[in-house]
Structure 1
Amino acid sequence: MWLATGGCAGPHLIPVAFVSDNDAIVTATGESSKTVRRIQETKRARVAVGTTSDVVMIDTVLDGLVPVPEVATGVADRFAAVSHDPRKMSGYVYIRLLPRRIQVWNGFHEFSGRTVMLKGEWLSGPVD
């Protein structure tokens, strides 16, 4: 996924692997990274998964930064299966993000009605 954060120092965008954990999106990055500093400042991030013609965009809020020794074993195992294993590297932290707004896009025919979650609640019909 692409993970975008912002703050006083401006926007920052990185590609990262992720896994889901119940309602949360979980990724990991360096604990002293620009991403972590900016998400600590704003408590928000935007996630994009897919291509420019078939994408899911997710506005999230920070659920927490989880030190590597405190992450659930199942989450850590699933993350290690799709990326590096922070348990075997120093200086990493897991980031838990909660979706608040989800938009889908599969071309101009879906320009309206692309918001499928708003304020953390799934919608039953189009909003846009």
Structure 2
Amino acid sequence: MPSVPLPPVRDLAQRRADTVDRLASGFQMWLATGSDGHGAHLIPVAYVWDGSTLTTATFRRSRTVANLRARPRARVAIGDTADVVMIDTRATLLDVPDIDVASAEAYAQVSTDPRHAPDRFLYVRLVPERILAWNSLTEFAGRTLMLKGSWLDSPVD
């Protein structure tokens, strides 16, 4: 297997800027939930980022919704194994009529519009509590960008 050159190590400010840009320009993520007795559950979903929260939607009667009702926490993964953003979140379920218009319109641009079947879908609002980002093993140290919902000014790991 050919060796692949490692990308240059980014400082904390550059990693944060790249992460915010990636959240704003992307629309696909992996959403992991879990609850006692059911283990981990992982689904691919579309999302929108408003600068502080992620919004997605899923079926009202899904395992994801059942898990979030039991334990309103989720982990999000964006990217591939060589350039990843992982986000630990606090989750809130919202009935379709309760979502703000801007989020609903933005979400409709990247996925099926839940407003067309409000009895089948729920929106999921995900508030980041911890964000990690790294693009190679050389960036594994210092990968935590946010803790307890606040962006860091200096590396902690």
TM over 0.5: yes
Alpha-carbon distance between aligned partners in 2 of 1:124 and 1:118, rounded to the nearest angstrom: 11
State the partner residue of 1:80.
Answer: 108
State the partner residue of 1:20.
Answer: 49
Query: Between the two proteins, what is the percent identity of the paired residues?
Result: 53
Alpha-carbon distance between aligned partners in 2 of 1:96 and 1:45, rounded to the nearest angstrom: 10
Q: Which runs of 4+ in 1 moved over 2 A?
A: none
Alpha-carbon distance between aligned partners in 1 of 2:69 and 2:30, rounded to the nearest angstrom: 18
1:6 pairs with one of 34, 39, 64:
34
Unpaired stretches in structure 1, ≥5 consecutive residues: none
**How far 1:22 sits from its partner (Å)?**
4.4
1:118 pairs with one of 121, 124, 147:
147
State the partner residue of 2:8.
Answer: none
Normalized against structure 1, the TM-score is what? 0.95
Alpha-carbon distance between aligned partners in 1 of 2:156 and 2:51, rounded to the nearest angstrom: 25
Q: Secondary structure at the match of 2:35?
A: coil
State the partner residue of 1:66.
Answer: 94
Bigger share in strand: 1
Bigger share in helix: 2
Query: What amino acid is the match of 1:26?
Result: T
2:122 pairs with one of 83, 93, 101:
93
Normalized against structure 2, the TM-score is what? 0.78
2:78 pairs with one of 41, 49, 71:
49
Alpha-carbon distance between aligned partners in 1 of 2:79 and 2:156, rounded to the nearest angstrom: 22
**How far 1:21 sits from its partner (Å)?**
3.1
**How far 1:66 sits from its partner (Å)?**
1.0
What is the aligned-residue RMSD (CA, Å)?
1.0
Alpha-carbon distance between aligned partners in 1 of 2:32 and 2:105, rounded to the nearest angstrom: 25
Alpha-carbon distance between aligned partners in 1 of 2:105 and 2:72, rounded to the nearest angstrom: 26
